[in-house]
Structure 1
């Protein structure tokens, strides 16, 4: 792609012939937490069936991949849209297992507790914890990071490390933005705390995802034949660029308001924002379509 080539394309089909595998974000690309985006999962299905490519979904969800499969099915994303899933929870479990025996303070909703199954950590209280694991807010419908400021300040003063199982700052739920664990991790660092993060945009989750892609394809895939698809600049796009992968930027996700009309974004604004962030993309499209 030359510097003067248009960034905006009609859909995945415009660039699909260049790739053997896709690492695709989930929340914001395939669904909004309430309903699935049918053209998006149809695009991935077509890439698999007609282009012969493989698709690994790569998500900052703080749970192991099995519950995410169930969630996708319930939202209406069919199994033929992807070959495998790698979650931030999957790679975080490796770090938790490396800390087997530690007494851990869980910050997040009960639905995320399966993250700790068979890791060897001991769930404890704020008073006896030697390690923190954050998967999100206890109630992300009503709480904000400021509700946790006093607690996090006290924990930071004790020198406890926080393992952040979901690096996302916010996600869309329907037409609203919901705070995620990454917002608490950011605040914890601001308060002087130490944070370990393995999900996007960091290397461990991409290593796990490319390993899964290789397993599906029956051998390693040339990184230049892998396309990263996502809507989040600090996670999906920065992560793909850091791994030297081509990126398809979905502009109608969490940054939609920055680029003008959602379905007809201003390419100049997109280019400017990418440059400001020190990022680049192979192509951009408002929503994932074939």
Structure 2
């Protein structure tokens, strides 16, 4: 049964490594949550390691710059493993061809660069010339919906193109606004009969990447029992962690704040239980917000 806790420290002594989600846990897209940052700082001060595991379609160097701009303290984490990192490796290997059609905003163009800023050997071309589709998000996620892309995706399906989804999230909240993500377009492509491939949570590639980075930092093997996955996405963070056989801490006050009856920073126990039963998942623990 899921344990409801009031702070990370109630359970963090059991673990050496945290896989912590970003959006909804450490920040809301506009600012970092001070209590969340402080909780991660305390964990690291006690000898633990923090890997920020995010479904951002951007490589870690870009994510690092982004969260610094939102106010994330440099000593609140050790490294970053992004969906963009994991998906980028597959693209660079040529698994979606060398000529690709990109769906996504201009700010995601670092996805097509190596960590040193040099270009990856992949050319962005019109759909008619493409060998695959790279989806990092909607071009204007403040105004567009997945339905705006149905005709484009139907044309891609007719050509038999595989779609790389660099961010499996369907929606995220920026402040008080909920916006669509690349995962929504990939789901629509699958619904239309297309072939979508995912590399972020809840899928295995990002967890393998996070473990490699954790083990490099700690200089030793990291066991499953040593890891706690923290996140507010029931179908990404929690389902992914459970699928990997890892313990999980569900942040009830993120995406599911309404469904879990959040009030004064705490979930309603009955509403939380009902939500988890509907999801058919039992995280190790739950908390209102990371603190």
Q: What TM-score bracket applies, with the shorter chain setting the length?
A: over 0.9
Point out 4+ residue stretches in structure 1 off by more than 4 angstroms. Answer: none
C-alpha distance in structure 2 between counterparts of 1:28 and 1:261, whole Å: 14
Give the drift of 1:113.
1.1
User: Distance in 1 between the 2:93 and 2:62 partners?
Assistant: 23
Which residue is equivalent to 1:84? 79
Equivalences for residues 107-256 of structure 1 within 5 A:
107-117=103-113, 118-256=119-257
Cα distance in 1 for residues equivalent to 2:174 and 2:267: 21
CA distance in 2, matches of 1:40, 1:19: 17
8 Å contact 1:185–1:195 — kept in the other structure?
Answer: yes
Gaps of 5+ in 2: 114-118
Q: State the 1:276 CA deviation.
A: 2.3
Cα distance in 2 for partners of 1:167, 1:215 equals: 26
Report which stretch shifted further, 196-205 or 263-272.
263-272
Which residue does the alignment assign to 1:276? 278
Aligned residue runs from structure 1 range 18-57, under 5 A: 18-49=14-45, 51-57=46-52
Aligned-CA RMSD value: 1.2
Structure 2 contact 230–248 (Cα < 8 Å) conserved? yes
Conserved in 2, the CA contact under 8 Å of 1:93 and 1:119? no
SS of 1:256's partner is coil
Query: TM-score under structure 1 normalisation?
Result: 0.95
| Structure 1: stretches of 5+ with no match in the other structure | none
Residue 258, structure 1, aligned to residue 259, structure 2: yes
Q: CA deviation at 1:79?
A: 0.7
Per-residue deviation at 1:222? 1.4
* Contact 1:251–1:287 (Cα < 8 Å) also in 2: yes
Quick one: distance in 2 between partners of 1:222 and 1:150?
Answer: 46
Q: What does the per-residue CA deviation read over 1:143-201, in whole Å, with 9 as the maximum and x for residues that have no partner?
A: 00011111111211211100000000000101111100000000000001000111100
Aligned-partner Cα distance in 2 for 1:272–1:281 = 13
